[in-house]
Chain A
Amino acid sequence: MSDALTYTNKDLLAILHSTKAIAMVGASPKWNRPSFFAMKYLQEKGYRVIPVNPGAAGGEILGETVYANLTEIPHKFEMVDIFRNSAAAGPITDEAIAVAADKGIRVVWMQLGVINEEAARRAEAAGLTVVMDRCPKIEFGRLHAELSWGGFDSGIITAKRRRVRLT
């Protein structure tokens, strides 16, 4: 991940806790693809994940209908998670900006390795929050101490006891 792009734990938690539905652009129906891993994990954590993939539109992934683009999704969703390359993230971000008011989009999140500074500037100018070069699954796991179970450095130092309850 890029060291230059740093986000505070507080801001990332605020995004993850205020999001209920995520449009995942580039979601794959193949069970051993990274996007499938992330979608399954986020569903298990209580998010509704709406797959967007023109090649698989009309089908289903993990019980959710696949749409060809963001515009066709007939639900509200707060986050667009971009599982495509950095160049493709440009037009997807522009579509997110165009339908943001209609769909309730507040966050454009680009996956690990996906960085598009120009698209990020356009989204931020339109009032959206942008995260790049991160995975929401990994960040959710890191901020809730699950990443630590695998022996990874979460970067979290605290003497506070985590509450185990519905929030």
Chain B
Amino acid sequence: MKSNKTPGFETRMIHAGTQPEPVTGARQTPIFQNTSYVFHDADHAASLFNLQTFGFIYSRLTNPTVAALEERLASLEGGRGATCCASGHAAQILAFFALMGPGDRFIASNRLYGGSITQFGKTFKKFDWHVDFVDVDEPEAVRRALTDRTKAIFVESLANPGGVVSDLEALAAIAQDAGIPLIVDNTMATPYLCRPFEWGADLVVHSTTKFLSGNGTSVGGAVVDSGRFDWSRSGKFPGLAEPEPAYHGLSFYETFGDMAFTMQAHAVGLRDLGATMAPMNAFQTLLGSETLSLRMERHCANAKAVAEFLEAHPQVDWVSCAALPSSPYHALAQKYLPLGAGSVFTFGVKGGYEAGVKVVEACELFSHLANIGDTRSLILHPASTTHRQLTDEQREAAGAGPEVVRLSVGLETLNDLVADLDQALTAASRVAAAAD
């Protein structure tokens, strides 16, 4: 027998997970706005609760509209299955919930999105989960940080906010040697620009709020499983490989094989953590994902042109954008993000904190808000907002110092974006001059 031909990325971003609805023929995926699903009989109900058959019980665990998005994301990432949830932060909890027990540790990049640093470093402690933040540009530092209790390595493929690209292949090799999964936050790159599973990652997490939904309408998250990690070999992952008391001693890995992680993330993770994605948000994200490739192409083209403009601007100290040859991450970007280095990057304004704040406030077209990956161009001063909870040292490591401005370049006319930034920088230069 021959193999099935795998359709291209653009075909899958429109069709994966969304066959015509069989009962009505509805071509667009219906919003299944309901909590619960009728059983055929008591035996069918028992089979569903025992995980012996496929089907829906209650929308905290699974929902048809959410499942359509899950299948689409699994397909786009090249994974086995996906678990959608309420937000990107929920996705991180869900991923670690399957892997971690009290006293366990994991290694994470010290250049993560500030919200992740706070969640991992502060809130996870309440579960007795411990993070070791490491400069992942130094593979030896990652190896040195490994302990017997280390259960995962976590990085962003393209880090928010600073134009930092992780060397996924090298990190995957370290994780593999240690018998632990590499988890990659692929929010900023999206599977159109980077597919971490192709470089050896085991799990991918997303904030679907950003480029995947694309219009700034819907908060959501996802954990995608490659299906390739052997959860039983090391004995380090009892939640997946040992008998599960809540399911009468069923072992997820033995029973479901390469589907174990995604089964566990729904049947235990969502069931008990309850951080479910709303069907309406899944629908909006499905709509957004249908145009992902087109939007990312324009996002990347606009962002690169804006970055080049800023790099040549006298009021700009530096630009950290992996699309620019001046970036220390340019070579990694060409390897891992050949179609474009995303549209979120930072630059340093001459004049420090006050000038940074002024640029943000003086913009007319860039929206001053705490999000990325919208069709609209967005601007933010991380030091006073998203990275405010961090220490000065953490802010510097994360590329969010006092003079730093973050852009998420949208899909507007390029000349309008450049003109807006130019007038804002001029306004900021007056602040800087007055301060001098």
Taking beta carbons and an 8 Å cutoff, which residues of A are in contact with B? Answer: 1, 6-9, 11, 31-32, 34, 36-37, 40-41, 44, 112-113, 138, 141, 145-164
Contact = CB atoms under 8 A, between A and B. Distances in A.
A90 to B, nearest CB: 21
Given A148-B67, A149-B54, A153-B71, A159 B2 contact: no
Interface in B61-78: 62, 64, 66-68, 70-71, 74-75
Judged by DSSP, the binding face of A is loop
A134 to B, nearest CB: 11
B64 A31 contact: no
Nearest to B17: A148
A44 B47 contact: yes
Interface of B: 1-4, 6-7, 11-12, 15-17, 19-20, 22-23, 25, 27, 44, 47, 50-56, 62, 64, 66-68, 70-71, 74-75, 79-84, 247-250, 254-255, 257-259, 262-263, 266
Most buried by B among A149, A154, A160: A149
B4 A151 contact: no
A145 B291 CA distance: 24
B1 A8 contact: yes
Contacts of B81: 150-153
A6 B4 contact: yes
Contact of A146 (B17, B54, B80, B250): B54
Contact of B52 (A1, A37, A113): A37
A69 to B, nearest CB: 25
Most buried by B among A40, A113, A151: A151
Contacts of A153: 16, 71, 74-75, 79-82
Contacts of B68: 148
A75 B257 CA distance: 32
Nearest to B82: A151
Contacts of B3: 6-8
A165 to B, nearest CB: 10
11 contacts: A32-B248, A37-B51, A44-B47, A113-B257, A145-B22, A146-B55, A151-B71, A151-B74, A155-B75, A157-B12, A158-B19
Given A145-B19, A153-B16, A161 B25 contact: yes
Contacts of A155: 4, 6, 75
A160 B20 CA distance: 7
Contacts of A148: 17, 67-68, 71
A141 B263 CA distance: 15
Given A6-B4, A152-B81, A162 B22 contact: yes
Contacts of B74: 151-153
Contact of B84 (A8, A112, A151): A151
A162 B55 contact: no
Contacts of B23: 164
A146 B50 CA distance: 16
Among all A-B residue pairs, the 9 with the closest Cβ atoms: A151-B70, A6-B3, A153-B74, A146-B54, A162-B22, A152-B81, A161-B20, A37-B52, A7-B1
Contact of A159 (B15, B50, B79): B15
Nearest to A154: B71
A148 B51 CA distance: 14
Nearest to B243: A32
A34 B255 contact: yes
B6 to A, nearest CB: 7
Contact of A161 (B11, B22, B54, B79): B22
Contacts of B84: 151
A9 B27 CA distance: 23
Given A8-B1, A31-B50, A149-B67, A156 B19 contact: yes
B247 A32 contact: yes
A4 to B, nearest CB: 10
A18 to B, nearest CB: 15
Given A31-B248, A162-B19, 8 more contacts: A8-B2, A31-B50, A32-B50, A150-B67, A151-B71, A152-B80, A156-B19, A163-B22
B73 to A, nearest CB: 9
A8 B4 contact: yes
A148 B2 CA distance: 23
A49 B66 CA distance: 33
A151 B12 CA distance: 15
A151 B67 contact: yes
B53 A41 contact: yes
Contacts of B67: 148-151
A80 B71 CA distance: 31
B1 A6 contact: yes
Contacts of A164: 22-23
Most buried by A among B19, B62, B70, B80: B19
B15 A158 contact: yes
A32 B20 contact: no
A71 B276 CA distance: 51
A16 to B, nearest CB: 14
B54 A147 contact: yes
B1 A11 contact: yes
